Structure 1
Amino acid sequence: MKIVVPKPFMYKAKTRAVLLLHGFTGNTIDVKMLGRYLQEYGYTCHAPLYRGHGADPDRLIQTGPEDWWRDAVDGYDHLTSEGYEEIAVIGISLGGTFALKLASFLKVKAVVSICAPVLAKDIEGLYRRVNDYAEGYKKFEGKSDGQIRVEMKDFTNMPVASLQDLQQLISQVKNSLKAIASPVFVLQGRLDHPVYRESADIIFNTVNVENKLIRWYEDSGHIITLGKERQQVYEDVRMFLDSLEWKRQSESDDNHE
């Protein structure tokens, strides 16, 4: 069976740019519909794909948080190299953590944090996340249950040294929240894991900016950009972006289409 690997995307519109960042063990599909929606309202949207993600799980465990972070920064640099001067950063899950980290030391128009952790989950929980990803990918490949059991036994024995590094990165972002000077919008699913719910409150209460909002989605879990309330999520994000003081768009913006 041929596997179609998710890819980075660039949806061009006007001079207002948005960097979209997916989560750990996720891929650009997590933010694809949001990107298309924002493009319709004049926002250029770019989403990088982190190394090792969206492909064979053996490749995932050969990469680590520094690789994924570098890909997020490269996504920002790609937009600036394309001539975009005003960039909002939107991330879901670990992508939201990366978005907050970017906003703590780079010039961003705003940061939108969606179900982002700033409290590290336990190693066992992260390890299960990797195993679930591996098992799901093997099912997607069309492998039999027996073959998957054999392969997962070998996969489970593989070390995942990067998980402790991931915990450390998340903790570091929590400590840098007060350095953010851009407007902040926090979105959180009420049915999500307690770590993410508590993180949402910490982010909102810690960032030291006047323009900050938090919104809870009562019927949503973790990947709310794909959940039952996704349309409301898209509209809320767009209205927040529209409320910012962007540079006046002109006819010269057509060069970005």
Structure 2
Amino acid sequence: MKVVTPKPFTYEGGDRAVLLLHGFTGSTVDVRKLGRFLQKRGYTCHAPLYKGHGVGPDQLIQSSPEQWWEDVKNGYALLKNSGYEQIAVAGVSLGAVFSLKLAAEHRVNGVVSMCAPMQAKSIEDLTKRVHDYALSYKKIEGKDAAQIEAEIAKFKLQPMLSLNELQKLIVNVSQQLKSITIPTFVLQGLLDEELYINSAKLIYDDISTMEKQLKWYEKSGHIITLGKEREQIVEDVSQFLETLDWG
């Protein structure tokens, strides 16, 4: 079976732009519904695809957070170079970490953080995420169980060396929170792991802006943009964006 590789997208709307950022081992599918919704509300939305994502697991383990951050900055530059002066940023999971980093280091009008980790997961947990991604990818390829088992056993012998960098990235961004002075909307699913729930509180407490909101979603887990409350979430994000000063 041929795997359809997700791609970056740009949905043209109005003069106000939103950079949308997906999660670790995810893809632009994480934020596609949000992008389409915001486009209908008059926003131009762009979502980059990080290197090694949406493709085979062998390519994922050769990529690094430094490369993914370059993809984020290139996405921001694409909007700037296309003439968009007013830009907000929104991300889910790792994309939310990058959104907060962008808000701390670059000029944006507002930031939306959905289920961002601010405490690093263990290498074991991150490795399991990579192995789960590999398993899912090989199933989508249509391989039989015996072939998948053999390939996964071989794949597990190849460590993803950049996972330490991912841990450091998360810790470093948590130390940048106090420098965020723009309007911030923190969204968190209550069915998510405790680490993420605690991180939502930490983000809300540590950012310096007085223009901040924290909202909990009782029926949502981690990738809340694809969960049961996705309709409410895209509406809430849109309403937050309407409160920003777009110049």
Mapping of 1:213-232 within 5 angstroms?
213-232=213-232
Letter in 1 for 2:153: K
Structure 2 match to 1:27: 27
Matching residue's letter, 2:33? M
Shift, 1:133, TM fit: 0.1
Shift of 1:244: 1.2
**What's the CA shift for 1:69?**
0.8
Give 1:243's aligned residue. Answer: 243
Q: Which amino acid aligns with 1:166?
A: L
TM-score of the two chains, using structure 1 as the length reference: 0.95
Cα offsets for 1:145-176 (capped at 9, x unmatched): 11011000110000211001100000000000
Aligned mates of 2:44, 2:208 — CA distance in 1: 28
> Is structure 2 residue 108 aligned with structure 1 residue 104?
no
**Offset, 1:232:** 0.4
SS at match of 2:188: strand
Moved over 3 A (4+): none
Per the TM alignment, residue 181 of structure 1 is displaced from its structure 2 partner at its CA by: 1.5
Secondary structure of the 1:191 match is: coil
**Alpha-carbon distance, 1:220 to partner:** 0.5
Aligned to 1:119: 119
* Partners of 1:65 and 1:244 in 2: CA distance: 30
- Separation in 2 of the partners of 1:64 and 1:246? 34
1:1-257 to structure 2, matched below 5 A, reads 1-247=1-247
SS in 2 for 1:126: helix
| Residue 254 of structure 1: aligned partner | none
CA distance in 2: counterparts of 1:234 and 1:189, whole angstroms: 14
> CA offset at residue 188 of structure 1?
0.2
C-alpha distance in structure 2 between counterparts of 1:195 and 1:67, whole Å: 25
RMSD of the TM alignment (CA)?
0.5
Deviation per CA, 1:38-95: give whole Å up to 9, x if none.
Answer: 0000010000000000011100001011011110111101000000001000000000
Q: Secondary structure at the match of 2:195?
A: helix
Distance 1:206 1:43 in 2: 29
- Counterpart of 1:23, as a letter, is G
* 1:246 to partner: Cα distance: 1.6
- Deviations along 1:123-143, one digit per CA (max 9) or x if unpaired, are 100000000000000000000
Distance 1:122 1:48 in 2: 27
Q: Distance in 2 between matches of 1:133 and 1:6?
A: 14
SS of the residue 1:104 aligns to:
helix
Amino acid at match of 1:175: Q
Q: Classify the secondary structure of the residue corresponding to 1:88.
A: strand
| AA in 1 matched with 2:60 | L
Secondary structure at 1:196 match in 2 = helix
> Any idea what SS the aligned residue of 1:225 has?
helix
What CA distance in whole angstroms lies between the structure 1 residues aligned with 2:15 and 2:4?
31
SS at match of 1:161: coil
Structure 1: segments with no counterpart, 5+ residues? 248-257
Alignment size in residue pairs: 247
Q: Percent sequence identity over matched residues?
A: 57
Cα distance in 2 for partners of 1:181, 1:78 equals 24
- Distance, in Å, in 1 between the alignment partners of 2:244 and 2:160 is 41
Q: Distance in 2 between the 1:245 and 1:72 partners?
A: 23
Distance in 1 (CA, whole Å) between partners of 2:116 and 2:142 is 32
Q: Gaps (5+ residues) in structure 2?
A: none
Which whole-Å CA distance do the structure 2 matches of 1:124 and 1:225 have between them?
26
How far apart, CA to CA, are the structure 2 residues paired with 1:143 and 1:2?
11
